[in-house]
Structure 1
Amino acid sequence: MDQRSALEDLCAPAAAGHTAMQTELARKWLTHFGADRVQDLDLGMLEAIAGYVRKGVSPPGE
């Protein structure tokens, strides 16, 4: 996965066909890692978050 596709996975949920649950999970993961926006995280972290969101995994403590 390249940086653009990782960002698209998290930035454009409606365009990519993501559900409301996936959008909320992405927001929770961003908050969990202390990021206000996806540009605050590196590519590896974005790929990990995108994978968690696709699998429906919530951040620890949720």
Structure 2
Amino acid sequence: MLGWTITFFIIALIAGVLGFGGIAGAAAGIAQILFIVFLVLFALSLVASAISGRRPPVP
């Protein structure tokens, strides 16, 4: 999911440089939403692992 955020961020940067304001704004908005979703899922996974008490496997 973080990969999608970075992809939309790069699209927004390129579109902004080329002068496509609407496309840049839309891509930046999508990147922000995906980043927030990523952070929420990350926080939930941290809380769930803290509650369950399980440790990740050691490679």
Same fold? TM cut 0.5: no
Which of 1 and 2 has greater Rg? 2
Q: Which is richer in helix?
A: 2
TM norm structure 1: 0.31
By relative contact order (CA 8 Å, sep 6+), the higher-ranking structure is 1
